[in-house]
Amino acid sequence: DTLHRVLRGMPKAELHIHIEGSLEPELIFALAQRNNVRLDYASVEDLRRAYAFTDLQSFLDIYYAGASVLITEQDFYDMTRAYLKRAHEDNVRHVEMFFDPQTHTARGIAFATVIDGISRALADARSEWGISGGLIMCFLRHLSEEEAFATLEQALPYRDRLLGVGLDSSERGHPPEKFARVFARCRELGLHLVAHAGEEGPPDYIRTALDLLKVERIDHGVRCLEDPELTRRVAKDGIALTVCPLSNIKLCVFDALHQHNMRALLDAGLKVTVNSDDPAYFGGYINDNFLQTFDALGLDAGHARQLARNSFSAAFLPASEKQKRL
Ligand code: HPA
Ligand code: ZN
């Protein structure tokens, strides 16, 4: 119908996509074969059947196993290329892409291999499709701050290729303050700062991500509404929330899409954006997230316009560049 056409066709920015989470089962098997990596799954169907998650950790275990097939620069290129092609079909015009170097360097893959492959695909997408974008390097919060510092050290030669840094992986038990010093250092380096907070973790993690890490956006942040004072602050300061509705259902943050708090977040005046998180694992790319959420919650063309505007307004683009796209 008309609303679906509007949602599909509108130019949009995607601000919460883990590139390793775009690795489709078919590509996992193709890369496993190419690289002689053994998988614990007999077939694509067998692997896909394992995508029945009960919480964040049950997903992360499979997500890290999937990433183990990535060995060469070409593997990172092929993965990123496949995502960007799919994003282009969804009329994504700007992408701020997370990557998890520690998942790869821990297996003996060079930092350069990872970032070169991803950057080359981004450069091609810019020249072929006019997609702008950049990289946000995430620290794995289940690892130590010392390990995060070591990763930052490895990234320094590539400082100019990074838009910013983020914080992902297991949220519960790994509060933002664990990374206060490394985020302070990244801030001195002029990097943009974001963090996952308030997905599974409590609203307090959103507050400490803002106060102690000084992040500019909150990834997920859906549990914000449990704290009215925090909600007012996040709204007043125009802090964007990069919400991922299908992810929230697959990881049991909400029981069903019609119970998602997207409409309530918008009604609270929060700068909400719609994103896919890990599209190969959660059953949909960005337009699937838009269409299914709009259907489930009865959102309208006004909401569509607001969400598209928010995606560019929340992007780390120069003000002049933003203005053109709003
Ligand atoms: N949350 C935390 N860590 C992640 C996610 C997520 O949704 N996706 C990939 N790593
Ligand atoms: Zn995420």
pLDDT digits (tens, 9 = 90+) for 90-113: 999 999 999 999 999 999 999 999
Residue 122 has pLDDT above 90, yes or no: yes
Model confidence band, residue 297 (pLDDT cutoffs 50, 70, 90): very high
CA-closest residue to ligand 1 atom 7: 277
Distance CA 19, CA 305 (A): 26
Annotated binding site: 16, 18, 196, 277-278
User: Which SS3 state, helix, strand or coil, does residue 93 take?
Assistant: strand
Gap from CA of 120 to ligand 2 centroid (Å): 23
- In the chain, how many H helices and how many E strands? 17, 8
What's the pTM? 0.98
Gap from CA of 89 to ligand 2 centroid (Å): 22
User: How many alpha carbons lie under 13 Å from residue 227 in its C-beta half-sphere?
Assistant: 17
Task: Please name the helix (run of DSSP H) or strand (run of DSSP E) that holds residue 99, with its range, or none.
Answer: strand 92-99
Q: Is 199 a catalytic residue?
A: yes
Q: What is the rounded (10 degree) CA torsion for 307, 97, 122, 324?
A: 30
Q: Specify the amino acid at residue 118.
A: I
pLDDT (0 to 100) of residue 201: 98
Query: Which of 15, 18, 20 to mutate for ligand 1's pocket (most ligand atoms within 8 Å of CB)?
Result: 18
Domains and CATH numbers, the chain: 2-314 (3.20.20.140)
Distance CA 252, CA 189 (A): 37
> Tens of pLDDT along 23-78?
999 999 999 999 999 999 999 999 999 999 999 999 999 999 999 999 999 999 99
Cβ of 207 less than 6 Å from ligand 1: no
Q: What is the rounded (10 degree) CA torsion for 140, 12, 222, 162?
A: 20
The answer to whether 208 and 179 are in contact (CB under 8 A) is no
Q: Specify the amino acid at residue 178.
A: K
- Contacts of residue 125, Cβ cutoff 8 Å, sequence gap at least 6: 81, 84, 85, 88, 131, 133
Model confidence band, residue 260 (pLDDT cutoffs 50, 70, 90): very high
Question: ipTM above 0.90?
Answer: yes
Distance CA 180, CA 165 (A): 13
